[in-house]
Each structure stands twice: as C-alpha cells, then as structure tokens.
Chain A
Amino acid sequence: MRLELVKRPQRSMLFSMLSPFIAFALTVIAGALMFAFLGVNPATALFTYFISPITEVWQIHELAIKAAPLILIAVGLSVCYRANIWNIGAEGQFVIGAIAGSIIPVLYPEMQGPFVLPMMLLMGMVGGALYAGIPAFLKARFGTNEILTSLMLVYVAQLFLDWMVRGPWRDPKGFNFPQTVQFNSSAVLPEIMPMSGRANWGFLFALIAAVLIWFMMSRMLKGFEVRVLGSSPRAGRFAGFSLNRMVFFAFMVSGALAGLAGISEVSGAIGQLQPSISPGYGFTAIIVAFLGRLNPLGIVAAGLVLGLTYLGGEAAQSVLGISDKVARVFQGMLLFFVLGCDTLIHYRIRLVGLGAPKPQVAAKLEEAR
C-alpha cells in the first residue's frame, strides 16, 4: 500500500481554511493517545491541558503574556518565510533585543521619566534588527546559508546573555545571583488592566504589529514584492526587485520584531535580565507562523493556541505530575500535522496498491480521468 498524490487543478479553498483546524484536532487525538500511554486518563489530561488554564480572567491575562512574544516574532517571521528566506534564529534576536533594550535600566537605573520606556523599546528593536542583519549580510554578500548562520547565532546570543548577567551586568547587591538590578518603575511595561490580571502592553504591541504587517503584505507594493520574490525570484528580478535588498528587509523586520518581543518580555513579564529569559519563544514562533498560514491575522489566533500549550504544560506538570516538556511535544506535533494537512490544499491523496482494483472500479477510474 502506498500514498499517491494527485495534483488539484487549483488550490483548494476549503482545505486552505480547514487545515489548521484538522491539524489541531489531530494533535488533540494524538495527545490523548500519548496521555493514555503515560497512564493518565486522557479526558482529565486534555481538560487539564487545554481547558483548565483559561477558565478564569487572570488566566486569560497569563495567556496574553505567553502569546504576545509568540505573535510578535511570528508576524516578523511570516515576512521572511513568504519571501522564501529562512530566518530560524529569532530566539537569538529576541535575546539580543532584550539586552540592547536593557542598557538604560541596567546602566542608568537613576533615569526616570516617560521617555525611558520608548527609548528601551526602540533600542530593543534596533538590537534585534542589527543582530538579524548579520546572517542577512552574510547571505547577501557571500551567499552563505542563512538557516545555519542564524541558528548558530542563537547559541552565541544565549552565551553572551549568560556572560552579561554573571559578569559585567550582575547586580552588585544581588547576593551573587546571576541577574541584573530590578528595573525601576518607569522602565517597566505597564499592565493593560491591572485590576484583573498581569497582561502588559506587549500584547497590544503584538496586535498592532500584526495589523501593520497585514496591511503591508496585502495592501502595499512592498508586500507584493515580498510575495513575488518568494514564489519566483526570477519573475521578481524582471520586475526590478532586488533579492539582496529583500534579504536585508525581511531579516531586519523580523529581527526588530523579535527584539521588541525580547525587551517587552524582560521589561513587562520578568522585570530584570536573567541567564534564561525565554522558554524557546523564538522556535515556537516558527510553529505559530505556519499554523497561522503565514498570515498576520491568522498568526494572532495561532499565537493564542501555542501560548495555551505553554500554560497547559505548566498545568500538566503541577496537576498531573507530567513533565512540562509535554508542551514541546504538543508544539512539535502541531507543526507536523499542519504541514501534513497543507498537502491537502494542493493535492488529493489516494491510497493505492491494495491489490489490483476490481474491473468495474478500474473502468470507473478510467472514466474519471
């Protein structure tokens, strides 16, 4: 028995809409099997994982906190992936953005005032964009594979952060803990509705970024340029678009958004720099981008779903006593199923080779052709 793909005459709108939902359903089913295998009642486990983390208002705030960096990063990555440019180093750009944005609150903690926060955010974006500029430069100038260079820079960025918080930026009054000083109040990202929960402006930034990038991709010439160069670089060249400039543009946009996510996370959710500031947001955002169909508005929804997998992982650990690594497994499965379901957009799937077809069936198949 084997699978056979039959090309559809045109892409199926139906499956284009349905595929993320089918993928999610398959993930839930596979998750239920996994829980059963681990000896946990699947119904209880799924409830704990997907429902219990969002039953109260303050929990919705926690979801927004987890979703904000995912959406910000994924929106930027969608520009890259549309242009067929593979930035997978967003985790590193996130870290460098966080460091660059923390320069003011760490080195000049006495600085106060309304200008501090905008400066921090701006510096975070610049830091992330410049760091993303490295693989962009290497690709444009030398043709170096951007997948590997951007990924290697993740390790470099994490080690650099580790050195900063243990070395030059360590809080002298922090009992030797590897962390910087606590940011002062004017360097902390305000909460949206402090009455009901902790969610900060980072989530608003994510929504604004999603709308802006959506507008650019669907209503502006630049967005058209991204899509043309992504689907056919040759056609793009004839139209006068420069692939090298696009490499820089896509990397810098996604780097800036990842940097913004980094400084927002540090300034909003954590309040200081630590050796580890991200549970792999930069990599999970890749899944968010694909689950959201590389469409900024879809990415907002996908970001909430993936944010939920983090909360579910925490809940599974505290309630069911399962490792919170279960979150990574869910995330990986989700991406697998999304990619698999996307095949249905362009192809029909047929199972063949289950013995020879009966004569009347064969005749019908012939007729159908």
Chain B
Amino acid sequence: MDITVNILMTIATAATPLLIAAIGELVVERSGVLNLGVEGMMVMGTIGGFGAAYLTGNPWIGLFAGIALGAIFSLLFAVMTLSLATNQVATGLSLTILGLGLSGMMGTNFVGLPGERLPNLYIPVLTDIPVIGRLLFGQDPIFYMSIVLVIAVAWFLFRTRTGLTLRSIGDSHTSAHALGIQVIRYRYLAVVFGGACAGLAGAHLSLVYTPQWVENMTAGRGWIALALVVFASWRPLRVLAGAYIFGAVWIGQLHAQAFGIPVPSQFLSSLPYLATIVVLVLISRNKRLTMMNTPASLGQPFVPDR
C-alpha cells in the first residue's frame, strides 16, 4: 500500500511541472499567440528558483524568483512578436536557445551544490489518515497551486467575460480589433502569464523534483508541455488528464529502469518523447476535433491598422 502511495505521489510530482507549463501556454495560445519558448522560460525558472533559494536559504524566495524570471523572460518574446510583429515560431525558438545559454552561464557556479527543497504540506491529523492522507494533504505546495491554476484558468476562459474576450482575440484578431478590443494589450498579459507559469514549472523542478541545479535540467519538458496543449485540444481539464498520463509514463520508465527490466535504459528514457509523438498523431488524425478547437489566428502576427 505504501509503495502505491509513493508511486502516485511521484507521478504527481512528475506531472506538476508539465501541467503548470502547459496550462500557461494554453492561455497564451487561446489568445492566438504561439510561444515555442516554453523550454527556455522554464529553464530560466529552474535557475531562478535554485539560485535565489541557494543564496537566501529560503525556497519560497526561490519560488518567486523562478516565477519572476520566467515572466520577465517572456516579456522579451512579447516585445518581439507583439510590438515588432516578428515570426512567432522563430522568435520562440530563439527564446529557447537564449534561455538554455543564459541559464547555463548563470548556473556555472551552482553545479553540484545542494539545493533547498520546498517542504511538503503537513496538517497534523489530516495528513496522518492512511493512504489518502498523504495524497490529499501531504504533497508539495506547488502541487496545490497547479490544481488551483487549472480550475482558475478553466473558470476564467469559459465563465468570465474577459475570458470570452481573450478567446475571441485568439479566433479572430481582426474582428476583435474592429470591436475596439485592445488585442495587443491582452496578448501581452497572456504571454507574461504563460511565462510566469513556465517559470513556476521550472522552479518546481529545481525546488521539489530534484533540489539541485543541472544544466538543461528541463530535458524537453517545455516541448512536451507544448504538445500537451495540442493533445488537450486547448481545454484546461484535458491538460490536467494529459499531464498525469505523461507523468505516469515518465515515472513508469524510471521505475522500469530501477527494476532492471532487460531493456536498455536509453530505450526506456526515450519513451516519454515517443509517447508524445504517438499522442500527437492520434489527436491530429481526428481532424474535426482539432479544427474545431484550434484558435483560428494561432501563430499569425497582428499589426493593428490605424
């Protein structure tokens, strides 16, 4: 029983960064902007989180530093694609390249140092309930944030007027502009929100998942988060499901390696990436589903005519 609980807990820990990064990117893409820089913003979150926690000795400060660094970094993307109308695909890629380089440079002196871990929640009586106690009341703080985030984003997008406005911008920025909506302003906010989420996801990696700093420690999770958004056909609750499926794949292959299954470890390590491809193919086969949900002006630059 204890083993099952432990496995479920690790799946949640593996799924949380994917979930947070993906939910942020979902909001960005719903506003019609494709930010391929998730990996770069996330890796900035890892260095911000680790660095600030190490220097101050307080993981909570690390958490906020990770969020802040992700948000500031995404602002670079926003200025380029929104104010200067650059190609979003190429700009997103350059954000990733720059993020990997900057974090590598900033983190040279952090390699191999012990990090600070955000403590798991502990509520005296509740956490001690067998089995469900730890699952519900004994996880790390960012886990709870991720769940709140999903519900809040789902509520915001589909139950509020501002959410409706954001979605309308994603579907037709020209019509939204004609209606007098500040397209660029909404998109700025969406992109920075996405950056903050990616930063938080990165901070989770270096403050909870493995409290240390390793170069490129995101290991493609930012890209998987991008795939999750497509997989979820831009629906928040499906992102939640997708992130946990991928968390399970990630943990499953690690356990398989630990149990010494007679398959080379490299093959097991490539499972999450192969699973991403399979899932993308399955989703894209269903043309109607993707056509209906893809924000219609996704990835197209917008220059308001005056």
**Hey, which bits of chain A sit against chain B, CB under 8 A?**
2-5, 7, 86, 88, 138, 142-145, 147-149, 151-153, 155-156, 159-160, 162-163, 166-167, 283-284, 286-287, 290, 322-323, 325-333, 335-336, 339-340, 342-343, 347, 349
Contacts and interface: CB of A to CB of B under 8 A. Distances in A.
A140 to B, nearest CB: 11
Given A143-B284, A328-B104, A152 B86 contact: no
23 contacts: A4-B306, A5-B83, A138-B281, A142-B281, A144-B281, A145-B230, A147-B89, A149-B280, A152-B227, A156-B273, A284-B97, A286-B90, A326-B101, A328-B98, A328-B100, A328-B105, A329-B98, A331-B97, A332-B102, A336-B91, A339-B86, A340-B80, A342-B86
B133 interface: no
Nearest to A149: B277
Contacts of A162: 266
B262 interface: no
Given A323-B105, A328-B104, A160 B220 contact: no
Interface residues of B, number: 48
Interface of B: 36, 76, 80, 83-87, 89-91, 93-95, 97-102, 104-105, 108, 215, 219-220, 223, 226-227, 230, 264, 266-267, 269-270, 273-274, 276-277, 280-281, 284-285, 287, 290, 303, 305-306
Main secondary structure on A side of the interface with B: helix
Contacts of B226: 148
Contacts, number: 146
B-side binding surface: helix, strand, loop or mixed? helix
B220 A144 contact: no
B284 A144 contact: yes
Contacts of A142: 281, 284-285
Contacts of A138: 277, 280-281, 284
A159 B266 contact: yes
B85 A332 contact: no
A135 to B, nearest CB: 9
Contacts of B98: 328-329, 332-333, 335-336
B220 to A, nearest CB: 5
